[in-house]
Amino acid sequence: MMYTCAMKTVRTKFEILNTEFKIRYQRNPISAVTTRLKRSGSIAEKLSRQNLPFSTDSIEAHINDVAGVRVICSYVDDIYRIADALLKQDDVTLVARKDYIASPKPNGYRSLHLIVQVPVFFADQKKNLKVEAQIRTIAMDFWASLEHQLKYKKEIADPEEVIGQLKACAESIHATDRLPS
C-alpha cells in the first residue's frame, strides 16, 4: 500500500509537469505515463540473492524499484527537460541516476533511470519512499518492449542473429531520436 501511494505521488508530479508544459510551451512533452509494482515474489527473490531477510525494513533499505513509473516522451531533449523539472522540486530527493541514453547498455538499451525518494503522507505518519522513474522516447520504449518479449520467447532459431539485429535496430532508433525536435 505504501509503495502504491509513492508511485501515485510521482506519477502525479509528472502529470502536473506535462500540464504545465502544455500551457507554457503549447505542447505536451509526455506521451504516456505508466506504473507498476514489483511482485512480492520478485522482491523476495531479489532479497534472497543478496542474502537479506524478507522484511519491510529490508525492502525499504535495499530495494529501489518496488514502485516504478515509466514516462514516455516524444523527443530526447524532453526526457532531460522533464527529469530536471522533477528533480528541482524541493520534496524530491535524487537517490541514483543511470543515464543509459548517454551510455547505452551493451545490447543497445537506452533510457534515463532515476531513483527518487518522495514523502508520502498517511493518516498517522509520513514516510519517505523510493520510486524508480524510467524516462524514454517512444522509439526507445518500442525497442525495449520488443527486446523484452524476445528475451522470453522460447524458440528462437538463431539467438545470436536476433541479438545482432536488435543491436542494429537500437542504433537505428537512436539515429532517429537524434533528429531535431
Q: Which residues are catalytic?
A: 132
Q: How do beta strands 67-73 and 93-99 pair?
A: unpaired
Our CA dihedral for 132, 133, 138, 144, rounded to 10 degrees, sits at -20
Tell me the residue ranges of DSSP E strands in the chain: 30-37, 67-73, 93-99, 112-121, 126-137
**Three cell numbers at 31?**
506521451
Give the dihedral sign, CA 56/61/62/65. positive
* Ramachandran quadrant class, 156 (left: phi over 0; alpha: psi -120 to 50; beta: rest): beta
